[in-house]
Chains A and B, each alone.
Chain A
Amino acid sequence: MAITEENPGYKWVGTRPIRPDGLEKVTGKAQFGADLMLPGMLFGKVVRSPHAHARIVSIDTTAAEAMVGVKAVITGSDFPDLAANGAHASDIDVANNAIAREKVLYEGHVVAAVAATTREQAEAAAKAVEVTYEILPHVLTVDEAMAEGAPLLHEGMITKGVDPAPEEPSNVASKILHERGDLEQGFGEADVVVEREFTTKPVHQGYIEPHAAVADANTDGRAHIWCSSQGHFQMRAYSATVLGVSPGTLKVTAAEIGGGFGGKTVIYLEPLAVRLSQRAGRPVKLVMDRDEVFRATGPTSGTRIRVKMGVSNDGKITAAEVWMAYEAGAYSGSPVGAAGMTAIACYDIPNFVVEGYDVVCNKPRVAAYRAPGAPMAAFAVESVLDDLARDIGMDPIDIRLANAAVEGTQASYGPKFPRIGFVETLEAIKDHPNYTADLGPNQGRGVAAGFWFNAGMMSSATVHINENGTATVVTGSPDIGGSRQSMALMAAEELGIPYESIKAVVADTETVGFNDVTGGSRVTLATGAAVVDACRLIVEDLRARAAKTWDVEVDQVEWVDGQAQHVDGSQPPLSLSDLAAKSGRTGGPISANASLNSRGVGAGFSTQLCDVEVDPETGVTRVVRYLTAQDAGRAISPDYVEGQMQGGVVQGIGWALNEEYIHDQDGVMENPSFLDYRIPVASDLPMIDCAIVEVPNPAHPYGVRGVGEVGIVPPMAAVGNAINDAIDVRMTDLPMSPVRILEALTEQRD
């Protein structure tokens, strides 16, 4: 492991204890979204559009309502018409995506939902809902959607970000532009210029737990929702919007979440479950089947990207021109904005234009997926950079070092970078034995790098000291990959008590202050900072109580190793358990809250090294060796930092080699199963070697940057560059499947 900064004497931070929620998860006790059973609970089932684009002419629910066991049937008309109420456009999109009103915009779009006594009854009733559609022409890709005369999804959509605004509507929701310097001059200074065009397909987050929600509505308008999500406060807000109620009427309890990767930051089932429960007067459970997850929940964008870059013979990038179009799915909001900001953010480039388009099409609305938008752009840019390095005969790490963004570099998206660790990740790769390991026949090696901002946003935490001196750390950030452990480790460090004395819990929306979603790699950073703040308030309080006990000034009291000590040693120390036991005499229970809007974001970089072996006769590619180096800032919980790094890499390998949405001509998804949507299996992979780089984020009390996302940015280019090294073929379309590779090899031979 490459640790670039010494651990400054932390006792708990940086250790590898057992996670607080582990026992429940290895014994089957942990309650995930679909596990809750309530007395009298009904089973729900959603009715979905079989068409990619159609007008809903009528919905007849009478047959379904008359069936045995059916307790409620709802359609779009059971929800307030937000458009008629003058709601914000983004809220209207959320509502219309949850249940269609006039048009269905993708296969799988919800048109109705039922609740019945048994699963079988609910399934039968869902089939009995009769929907009459007027089928409309559809567009499936950015090419089709941007073509002259393309059918429109939203008749009033005028492209934003273009001045003057276009007069005619189109499927282009918005344009983004970043530019600096003089492109023409930059390319003029180049000794070598490479220009290529790339395409990528939509890919799904592929969490193993399908979406699930249980709702129990009361007759007074209040309702309790249990759901597996990346942010139960966000689920509350969105559900309240769709239902047309005040957020305070809804209580949302976070079930354990079975993976999300960004895909569970949005609502699908929650408002439907509430409305069904209200209609039926009983609790209702809605759980998606796997094919519903694929057909109707957010993949990330399919894209078309053109990159032109020039370098001088000494390896300096003189100019970069990037054009990108990202599928948004049915409603605007592709991650092209982030793509534009991240595409060349690893490098200090004097002249560039980055132009991007957010394009709607008749596929499910995209949702966030790990560093949203960045991986596709990096695939394109890092592939072209690899070609440039080959053309000038430069080592792939050296060309990146020659252009790497460092502290003080003006980032391509605007601000100046503070202390960052990109160079350190490049050096960690170069120093690793994998970089010079022998390659066998048909094997090749590729390098690629990636950038992600990481997020801050709003978090709250409460820390309670129990009567025996143990502590409970309460946050509202769903724990998707071990964050309860990092919260407990930081609290142990602050309070000076053993990790085992701390219980970290995720509380419902009525028990803890507001927390933004678990996303953007923000929880250990921002919620962690709130925990640290709350612990520091506790320590201040404890010092004051000790001072009171000893009848001294508070500045005479220090908090060391979990106990109050008098600065001159004149008093016997008071441990946390001593103070807790006597809290009634010193001011009552010991507890503190902290809330913040984090401004301490620290950017994350990852550099990765991939070795592949390609079967030249079948086009099958196997990853034989993989190394990832990532700047964590500080690894609070190294086990789970590695887990994030390895998980991101493997998702990226799947994206590189096999994963893709396949639609037929009618816009119907052909591979909505884990059989044909091929995420990597254990036997596809080698061990994923990790080099954790620690260049502390100066704006966080422990130097945390956030680690969840950047790991998925480099793999597609790393794999593609390795394939190029192995067989001398530049793959520009994802996935780099055996069929595509054999096609490319055949072309090369002919």
Chain B
Amino acid sequence: MARTHITAVVNGDETEFLAEDGTSLLNALRDEVGLTGAKEGCGTGDCGACSVMIDEKVTTSCLVFAPEVEGATILTVEGLADSGELHPLQQCFLEGAALQCGICTPGFLIAAKALLDKNPDPTETEIRYALAGNLCRCTGYDKIVRAVQEAAREMRGQ
């Protein structure tokens, strides 16, 4: 089957790739663009490991058809650090030991960024609900929630 040519801005770079129309954005990013930071944990939108931002909205890239992002702006975990400087969330996850195996980490970082973009001073409960679409089986979420709290504090300049 002929594949569709797609152009999108991925992590700041205009990027062209080919994908079959029924292919998920996740598989297109991983197989065609070579960005394997977003992971497939379920393929049905239940685990959040494939979270990316499309036009500044967080979503599960496994539920997006690749051609939908024609002309869109996409941010994956690979684009979170700025010129080699880690995003405060990345730094706080490292310092707060907010990851064990690390498979869910890219999705959590993107979802947490989406939260802090909207709400720079979330309560613990708000953080927990905002991250409810991201499953982690290693940490019990405790250190993840604390890392997001810490990053929020830093980003607010406190």
Q: Is chain B in direct contact with chain A in the complex (CB below 8 A)?
A: yes
**Contact among A22, A258, A640, A651 for B39, CB-based, below 8 A:** A258
Any A CB within 8 A of the CB of B44? yes
Quick one: which of A210, A290, A647, A673 contacts B138, CB cutoff 8 A?
A647
Contacting residues of chain A (674-718) with chain B, CB-CB under 8 angstroms:
674-675, 679-683, 685, 687-688
Interface residues of B in 80-104 (CB under 8 A from A): 80-81, 86, 90, 93-97, 99-104
**Quick one: CB contact mask for A21-35 with B, threshold 8 Å, 1 for yes?**
111111111111011
- Whether, in the assembled complex, B156 has its beta carbon less than 8 Å from a beta carbon of chain A, the answer is no
Q: Report yes or no: B140 in contact with A208, Cβ–Cβ below 8 A.
A: no
* Contact status of A19 and B97, CB under 8 A, knowing A28-B76, A32-B103, A210-B41: yes
Contact of B36 with A31 in the complex, beta carbons under 8 Å: yes
**CB distance B137 to A256 under 8 Å?**
no
Q: How distant is the Cα of A679 from the Cα of B133 in the complex, in angstroms?
A: 12
Whether the Cβ atoms of A18 and B36 lie closer than 8 Å is no
**A650 in contact with B140 (CB, 8 Å):** yes
Q: A32-B39, A34-B39, A649-B140 are in contact. Are A26 and B100 (CB under 8 A)?
A: no
User: A207 at interface (Cβ–Cβ under 8 A)?
Assistant: yes
User: A210 and B40: CB pair below 8 A?
Assistant: yes
Tell me if A640 and B100 are in contact (CB < 8 A). yes
> Assuming A643-B139, A649-B140, is B41 touching A209 (CB within 8 A)?
yes
Distance A18 CA – B135 CA, assembled complex (angstroms): 23
- Contact assessment for A687 and B41 in the assembled complex, using a CB-CB cutoff below 8 Å: no
A290 to B137, CA, bound (A): 14
Interface flags, A271-308, vs B, CB<8A=1, else 0: 00000000000000001011000000000000000000
A482 contacts partner chain B, Cβ-Cβ < 8 Å = yes
Query: Contacts of A209 on B, CB cut-off 8 Å?
Result: 39, 41, 101, 103
Number of interface residues of B (CB under 8 A): 63
- B25 partner residues in chain A, CB cutoff 8 A: none
Q: Which residues of B contact A651 (CB under 8 A)?
A: 137, 140
Complex CA distance for A649 and B139, rounded to whole angstroms: 9
Contact present for A259 and B132 (CB under 8 Å): no
Q: Confirm or deny: A639 has a beta carbon within 8 angstroms of a beta carbon on chain B.
A: yes
Report yes or no: A673 in contact with B44, Cβ–Cβ below 8 A: yes
Residues of A within 8 A of B124 (CB): 687
Is A27 a contact of B81 with CB atoms below 8 Å? Answer: yes
Give the distance in Å from the alpha carbon of A546 to the alpha carbon of B2 in the complex: 70
User: Are B101 and A685 in touch, CB under 8 angstroms?
Assistant: no
Q: A290 to B47, alpha carbons, bound, how many Å?
A: 10
A675–B41 touching, CB < 8 Å: no
| Contact, CB under 8 Å: A289 / B43 | yes
Which A residues, 221 to 262, have Cβ-Cβ distances below 8 Å to chain B? 256-261
> Please, which residues of chain A bring their CB within 8 A of the CB of B35?
28
* 8 Å CB contact of A259 from B31, B44, B96, B103: B103
Q: B120-158, CB under 8 A of A: which get 1 and which 0?
A: 000011011101111111111111111000000000000
Q: Which residues of B contact A28 (CB under 8 A)?
A: 35-38, 76-78, 106
Given contacts A23-B94, A643-B97, A647-B100, contact A208 B36 (CB under 8 A): no
Query: What residues on B are CB-neighbors of A481 within 8 Å?
Result: 100-101, 138
Q: Once the chains are docked, how many angstroms separate the CA of A673 from the CA of B134?
A: 14
Q: Whole-angstrom distance from the CB of B137 to the nearest CB of chain A?
A: 5
Q: Are B99 and A26 in contact (CB under 8 A)?
A: yes
Say whether, besides A673-B44, A687-B142, A259 and B94 are in contact (CB < 8 Å): no
Check: B49 CB closer than 8 A to any chain A CB.
Answer: yes
Measured in the bound complex, the distance between the Cα atoms of B103 and A675 in whole Å is 19
Residue on A with the closest CB to B1? Answer: A120
Contacts of B131 in A (CB 8 A): 682-683
Q: Nearest chain B CB to A418's CB is how many angstroms away?
A: 30
A37 and B31 in contact, given A26-B105, A290-B43 (Cβ under 8 angstroms): yes
CA separation between A31 and B109, bound complex, in Å? 17
Known: A28-B77, A647-B137. A18 touches B102 (CB 8 A): no
Question: Chain B: which residue is nearest A259 at the CB level?
Answer: B101
B127 CB → nearest A CB, Å: 7
Residue of A whose beta carbon sits closest to that of B102 = A25
Q: What residues of A have a CB within 8 angstroms of the CB of B30 in the complex?
A: 35
| Interface: B12 (CB within 8 A) | no
**Are A27 and B77 in contact (CB-based, < 8 A)?**
yes
Mask: chain A, 627-658; 1 = CB below 8 Å from B; 0 = not:
00000000000011011101101110000000
Distance in angstroms from A370 CB to nearest chain B CB is 11
How far in angstroms is the closest Cβ of chain B from A135?
Answer: 29
* Bound-complex Cα distance A29 to B141 (A): 22
Is the C-beta of B59 less than 8 angstroms from some C-beta in chain A? no
> Please, which residues of chain B bring their CB within 8 A of the CB of A290?
41-44, 46-47
B103 lies within 8 A of A208 (CB): yes
Measured between beta carbons, the chain A residues less than 8 angstroms from B101 are 207-209, 256-260, 480-481
Could you tell me which residues of chain A, from 154 to 200, have a CB within 8 Å of some CB in chain B?
A: none
Answer whether residue B73 sits at the interface, using C-beta atoms and an 8 A cutoff.
Answer: no
Least Cβ–Cβ distance between B131 and chain A, in angstroms: 5
Q: Report the minimal beta-carbon distance from B108 to chain A, rounded to whole angstroms.
A: 9
A206 at the interface (CB under 8 A from B): yes
Interface contact A206-B78, CB-CB below 8 Å:
no
Tell me which of B37, B49, B97, B102 contacts A256 (CB under 8 A): B102
Our pick among A258, A642, A649, A682 for the contact of B103 (Cβ within 8 Å) is A258
Contacts A28-B35, A209-B39, A681-B132 hold; do A674 and B47 have CB atoms under 8 A apart?
Answer: yes
Residues on B with C-beta less than 8 A from A118 are 20
Q: A683's contact among B40, B44, B103, B128, by CB below 8 Å, is which?
A: B128
Q: Is B140 in contact with A685, judged by CB distance below 8 angstroms?
A: yes
Chain B contacts for A680, CB-based, 8 A? 140-141
Query: Is A119 in contact with chain B by the CB < 8 A criterion?
Result: yes
Interchain CB contact (< 8 A) of A207 among B93, B137, B144: B137
For residue A355, give the distance in angstroms from its CB to the closest CB of chain B: 33
Q: Return the contact of A647 from the options B27, B90, B103, B139 (Cβ within 8 A).
A: B139
The answer to whether A646 touches B103, judged by C-beta atoms less than 8 angstroms apart, is no
Q: How far is the CA of A702 from the CA of B77 in the complex (A)?
A: 38
Residue A416 at the chain B interface, CB threshold 8 Å: no
CA distance A518 to B49 in the complex (A): 24
Contact with A along B39-73 (1 / 0, CB 8 A): 11111101101000000000000000000000000
The interface residues of chain B lying within 8 Å CB-to-CB of A663 are none
Instruction: Find out whether the CB atom of A26 lies under 8 angstroms from the CB atom of B94.
Output: yes
**Distance from B139 Cβ to chain A, minimum over Cβ atoms (Å):** 6
Q: Determine if A16 is an interface residue (Cβ-Cβ < 8 Å).
A: yes
B49 touches A25 (CB 8 A): no
Chain A residues contacting B96 (CB-CB under 8 Å) are 639
Residues of B contacting A29 in the complex (Cβ-Cβ under 8 angstroms): 37, 78
Q: Is the CB of A682 within 8 A of B81?
A: no
Q: Are A261 and B109 in contact (CB under 8 A)?
A: no
Chosen A-B contacts, 5 in total, with CB atoms closer than 8 Å, are A26-B77, A26-B86, A481-B100, A673-B44, A685-B140
Q: Which B residues have a C-beta under 8 Å from some C-beta of A?
A: 1, 20, 22-23, 27, 30-31, 34-44, 46-47, 49, 76-78, 80-81, 86, 90, 93-97, 99-106, 109, 124-125, 127-129, 131-146
In the complex, besides A639-B143, A673-B42, A687-B142, 18 extra interface pairs with C-beta distance below 8 angstroms are: A26-B90, A31-B36, A34-B40, A37-B34, A120-B23, A208-B39, A208-B135, A209-B41, A258-B101, A258-B103, A259-B101, A482-B97, A640-B100, A643-B139, A643-B143, A646-B143, A674-B46, A680-B140
